[in-house]
Structure formats: structure tokens, C-alpha cells
Structure 1
Amino acid sequence: MNKVVLGIERLEESIIRNASIGLVCNHASYNSEFCHLIEVVRKYGGDIRVVFSPEHGLYGVSYAGEKVSSYYDKDFNVDVYSLYGESKAPPTDLLRSLDFLIYDLQDVGVRWYTYISTLYYSVSSSSKAGIPLIVLDRPNPINGVIIEGPILEERFRSFVGIAPIPVRYGLTVGELAKYYSSVLGLGGDVRVIQLEGWKRSLWYDDTGLDWIPPSPNIPTWETAIVYTGTCLLEGTNLSEGRGTTVPFFILGAPWINAKRLSRELNKLKLLGVFFRLVYFRPYYSKYLEKYVVVCTYIS
């Protein structure tokens, strides 16, 4: 297996040295040697003026939907501006003081994952500020071939549905940034540091790369596969498994007849999937500290 080379690993020192830079990154913005983007930029002589953090914060510890505050980070010695608090977009007046903005967040390939909304506003704000946006590309973990689900209708647009794209859109973050810029008309100077060795047919376990959970409830790359469907349960009174060690792999509620539900779902004969009865007690989210009867599936 040939290892895919990440965009962060193809970032050239000559671009970075002596430049005033803003970063959009989090705890998963590492290269294959586990050197963080902040460390890489400083090693190359860049002046990091501000770090913009997405949902879950710079260290990925805030719960889904929890507002994150801006602050000064003593570990990295940098100002951290939250893009999941009072504002969702990098302020243009701040961006105008920079030479360029660098975006490096691992996506999961699903429309309602909010990092691509942060990408949308990064493209928009950098365009308005008149500075380049450099996107360090990362693989789409659920491959770049399969496209599924309806295109978002404008009337349902929100931060968990920022653009008219399918649920599973089959693009890398670099390709999506270009799509936002050119097709959706956000404009700007979007520069993508492309992957090397990535093919559209690759799933994440084909890349040779280590998986760093990009958010608290995507602990494994396989979670991204089931998240495509079971995250839809968030809008119901069923638990989607948040508050367990296997989020999105289980579904249910205290009042559900999981044995019957499992039996009915197995009658569908879904390829590679088997449903079974389990019990769990969430440590946060829906049905906190209550025993939940659920069914789970194994592929």
C-alpha cells in the first residue's frame, strides 16, 4: 500500500517564511509525523497572527452544538478565535491584516458535518478581504466515487446544511473549496495544496494514514460511513448513540421494542448489515443516565 501524501506535507517553506498568517485548524491538523500545523508553520518561519477554531474547539473537546469561546491559548501561545460562538465567519477586518489564510480540517464527506460550513465561510470571508485562501487537502474518508442523497433545498439552508450539494458529495475539502469559489460564486483566490497518491476509489483505510478523530463522535473512520445515514436520527426522539463508545452505530429509546425492531430491520436484508438487540446508558446527550433499549447493526 502506497501512503497518501497530505496537503500539509506538501506545503512549501518558501510560501510561509516571513508571512503573516491565519490558520483554520483543530486538534486533528497533523501531518503523518504527528507535527501539528501550528508547529509546521512556525518551523517554516511564518508569523501566526490568529488561529480560527471550528465546532468542538481547537482541542476537539466541546460537545456537538456547544458554543465555543475565543481565548488566548498558552500551550500554542496564540490567539484562538472561535468560529462556533458569536460568529461563524472569520471577520474580514482581521483577515485584511494577513497575507493569507490556511485551512486544514479533516472532513467526513457528509453535508451536515459543520467543518464544511466553516470552509464555506472561510472561502467567502477571504474573498471579501482580498487575501488568498490556501487549503491543505485531505482525503474524503468515505471515497470520492459514491454520491448519495438529495441536494439541499435553499429553504432548509443552515449551518448544518450550508450549500446545495448532496448528502454524500464525493469531494475532498480542496475540491469543495474550489466548488464554493467557482460554481457557487463565492469567488476569491483559492489555492489548493493537493494530495499526492490519492484516488477517488480509496476509502480511508486504503490511504495508509492514521485516523485522528476530527470530532468527539467520529472516533473511527468507519463511523463516517454510518454517520451518513444514522445522523438523520438526531432530528427525532430516538438516540443515535451519542454518549456511548459507538456513536451512530446504535439507535433506539427507552420505550422502543428493540427485539421487534431488529427483527423487522433484518427482514430488509440490507447487504452486509445485521441488527441485534443491545442495552446502553448514555453518559450525555439524549436519555442521559437512562437505560436505553436499542438495536445496533454490524456490517
Structure 2
Amino acid sequence: MQLLVIKNRVLFCFLMLIACGSKSKNDIAANNEVVNNIKENKTIVVGANRTSEYLSLLKGKRVGIVANQTSVIFKSTDSIFEVDPETNKPILYETQEVYTHLVDSLLDHNVNIKKVFSPEHGFRGKADAGELVKDGIDTKTGLPILSLHGKHKKPSKTQLENLDIMIFDIQDVGVRFYTYISTLHYVMEACAEQNIPLLILDRPNPNGNYVDGPVLEKEHSSFLGMHPIPLVHGMTIGEYAKMINGEGWLNNALKCDIITVELLNYTHNSTYSLPIRPSPNLPNDQSITLYPSLGLFEGTNVNAGRGTEYQFQRYGAPFLDQNHYEFNYTPIPNFGSKYPKHQDKICYGVDLSNIEAKRQFTLKYILDAYHNATDKSKVFNMSNFTTHAGTAELQQQIESGLSETEIRLTWKEELSNFKKIRATYLLYD
């Protein structure tokens, strides 16, 4: 198989000369359509790429940055074509993003970055969920790395005292218990207390097309959910920062001076394929789409694919009925999970890796697991299901045998109220 790697900015006729030699006008038009489609699918421009909008704001400033492995500037898209041996025509094989880390790019522009703050999973995104992320030094740049996960989730006054401006650039996935929005809260609060402006480089929300799930109750707030929002909030980081300010959620109702570099060509109905894992256990679009629903298993004793290469694309446990399920798997330690639930034990359950996952939240998977547990007392024998759900009521509803339709009715009024509030903070249609 002959593969050709072509950058989208290269003229299509160059591709044709390499791959096919002399071709008819129809052949050129057909293949040109393939390349144009690639371009059209990559029209969303992330905030970090809009350097003309923010580099002047950093000139002569001492800069801190909250970043991880997703904080990148995209350079180009490489299109990999396979040459059909029968027709000798190039056929699109796959596309790959070419990018540079934002920190590296800013240093190349002589921006005076003083320190990097890293969220859950660390600056390079390799730490396990909930694992303590320690302070350190970035081996590539020599910059100090200060952890915002563990005991010190909020930048201290000492850490901020020699900074003139902070940057926040992290890819989120739009789920309340995905802790990057909690990190955003603490960063905004610390900046507000020290009168330091916060520059937000916005990125798409891959689950931004809907709002759903139970609304967090104040008594169940934690780092897994700090604000009275639904499980799926349908906002970008830039929009969510506006809401934090507008709703007075910062300590003493402080307001953070935020400057948001907005996305281009993005709407809440846009589909966006994340080119970089936002965390170790969200490896692909399928897992990110299913994460709002399967993420609830994190607060149960059911494994949601950690310890496999199909994280958040399957679920199972040794106590689920093996006579009911045809599928099983055995979690083992891996890149995404050093100590997965039910390590080295056969888990019976469901494989979702090949279904056509819809961009929506559903309770059907957790209801299925509970109904088919041979010992139902084992499902919720962990202390943090309520912190994931944001309410103690959901577990009670599941255990009492309510259907998904019946449970959803109990969210209806609060969801409707949130959607009205959310509408006042949206930056995009």
C-alpha cells in the first residue's frame, strides 16, 4: 500500500502529479472535492490560534499559564492518502493535526512566561484520575510547574505575586464532574483576589450541543462539582467563566477581570473531534461522547473500562449477571489507570465501543447495571456516587425502581431554569 502525506496547504495539483500523473478534469475535480471537504471540516479556529488577538496583551508582561497537553496551537493538517492500485487515484486514508504546545510557541515569541500551573492529570496529561500531581520543573523549558490538584487546588498569593497576567487554556469536555471547570473557578478567584487579569483562550465543547442531568445541590458541592449546574452544562470554558462571574460564585462575590479570545466558526451544534486526549482515560470521540453517561459509574463499584484500551466505552463488574451478558473483559493496570476497579477479575457487562453513540446523556447504562447485578448492595457501596450525581436523590430513585422517564421528570423544572440563566452567558449560537 502506497501512502502519501500531504499538507492541506499544498496545492492539489501537486498531489495529483505525484500520485496519479496526467488525469482527466473529472478525476481532478473529484479528488479536489475530497481535499476541500477536509478543509471545510477543520474550519473551527481555537482561541490559542488567534495569536494576533492576544500577543500584544502579553508584551512586557510577566505571565503565568494554566495549561496541560491540550494547550496547543495547530499548525496544519496532514492529509494521508492511500493510492488505489486499480485506479491509481489518491483516496483519503486519515488526517493528522500538526501542532506546537502553547508554552513553546509563546516562548518562541519572547513572551516572559514565569511559571506553569497544571490541573488534574498534570502538565503533560499522564497522571491517573485523582492521583496527586506534584510540583516540579518542565524538562523541556526549565519552567517551574505548580500543581493545582491535590491539597493546593487554588494558586496562592505567593505563587501569583510576581505575575502581571494569567492565561487559561485547557480543553474541557462539558461535564460537571470533569474537574477542569473547578480549576477554572479557583484560578479566577485567586486572580480576582490579587487583581490579576485572566486571559482565556477558548476551545470547543465536544458535548456542547445539549444540557441535561440532575442539577447539583449545594450541600453536595465538591471539587467534582462546585456550582448549581446540570451534569452536562453545554458551555465552553469562556462561557462558563462568564457565568462564574455573573452568578457571583467566587468568594465574597468577587469578579475576575477576564479577557476571552473567542472561537471562530463554532456553534453549539458544531461537531468537534479532539485531536489530543483531554485526559488519559478519554482516548477518542466515542469515549468523550459516552463520558457524560458512563462517568456516573465512577461513583459506583462498576468498572467503566479503566484498565483496558476502551475507557468509557464499556462497563462491567464481577457481580453483574454473567448469564445475562455475553460480553466480558478483565481490567489490568495500564497507561490510563494504575489501579483499575476489579483489577485482574473478569467483569461481565456491555461493550459500547462500536455503537453509534449519540451526543446525549442517558441513565440506561447505569439502570441496566443495577437491574442486572446479582448483588445490588455492591453497586453503590462507594461513598462518592452522590458527589458525582450532585444529588442524593438519584441513587434513591434508581434503587426504588423508577424508570428513566420518571427520573427525568424530577429534573425538568431545574433544567429549564438553568437553561434560561445559561442563555445570558453564551458567546456562540
TM-score by length of 1: 0.89
- Contact kept, 8 Å, 2:202 with 2:238, in 1: the verdict is yes
Distance 2:238 2:166 in 1: 14
Q: Secondary structure at the match of 1:180?
A: helix
Distance 2:112 2:168 in 1: 15
Structure with more relative contact order (C-alpha pairs < 8 Å, separation 6 or more): 1
Is 1:31 the equivalent of 2:97?
no
Larger displacement relative to structure 2 (101-110 or 8-17): 8-17
Give 1:141-220 correspondences, 5 Å limit: 141-143=206-208, 145-186=209-250, 187-205=255-273, 211-220=275-284
Q: Secondary structure at the match of 2:224?
A: coil
Q: Secondary structure at the match of 1:122?
A: helix
Residue 258 of structure 1: how far off its partner (Å): 4.2
Distance 1:225 1:128 in 2: 36
Distance 1:237 1:196 in 2: 42
Is 1:290 the equivalent of 2:345?
yes
| Aligned residues between the structures | 280
Is 1:279 the equivalent of 2:329?
yes
Distance 2:331 2:198 in 1: 44
Residue 121 of structure 1: how far off its partner (Å): 0.6
Opposite residue 280 of structure 1, the aligned amino acid is: T
Distance 1:162 1:243 in 2: 28
Distance 1:230 1:147 in 2: 16
Larger displacement relative to structure 2 (104-113 or 86-95): 86-95
Give 1:9-28 correspondences, 5 Å limit: 9-11=49-51, 12-28=54-70
Distance 1:133 1:32 in 2: 22
Q: Secondary structure at the match of 1:32?
A: strand
Decide whether aligned partners of structure 1 residues 94 and 279 sit closer, same or farther in structure 2, where only a CA change above 3 A counts: closer
Segments of 4+ moved more than 3 angstroms: none
- Contact kept, 8 Å, 1:99 with 1:131, in 2: the verdict is yes
Is 1:245 the equivalent of 2:309?
yes
Residue 77 of structure 1: how far off its partner (Å): 1.1
Opposite residue 177 of structure 1, the aligned amino acid is: A
Q: Secondary structure at the match of 1:35?
A: strand
Q: Secondary structure at the match of 1:240?
A: coil
Provide Cα deviations, 1:33-80, integer angstroms capped at 9, x if missing partner: 211111122122211111000011111111111101101222121000
Is 1:3 the equivalent of 2:47?
no
Distance 1:43 1:127 in 2: 29
Residue 222 of structure 1: how far off its partner (Å): 2.6
- Contact kept, 8 Å, 1:51 with 1:79, in 2: the verdict is yes
Q: Secondary structure at the match of 2:329?
A: strand
Distance 1:258 1:128 in 2: 55
Opposite residue 122 of structure 1, the aligned amino acid is: V
Is 1:137 the equivalent of 2:177?
no
Residue 291 of structure 1: how far off its partner (Å): 2.2
- Contact kept, 8 Å, 2:331 with 2:340, in 1: the verdict is no
- Contact kept, 8 Å, 2:203 with 2:237, in 1: the verdict is yes
Decide whether aligned partners of structure 1 residues 258 and 148 sit closer, same or farther in structure 2, where only a CA change above 3 A counts: farther
Residue 256 of structure 1: how far off its partner (Å): 1.7
Residue 279 of structure 1: how far off its partner (Å): 2.5
Provide Cα deviations, 1:72-124, integer angstroms capped at 9, x if missing partner: 22212100000013300111232232111000000011000011111111111
Distance 1:80 1:139 in 2: 26
Q: Secondary structure at the match of 1:56?
A: coil
**Which is higher, the Rg of structure 1 or of structure 2?**
2
TM-score by length of 2: 0.63
Partner residue, 2:404: none
- Contact kept, 8 Å, 1:57 with 1:82, in 2: the verdict is yes
Q: Secondary structure at the match of 2:232?
A: coil
- Contact kept, 8 Å, 2:202 with 2:262, in 1: the verdict is yes
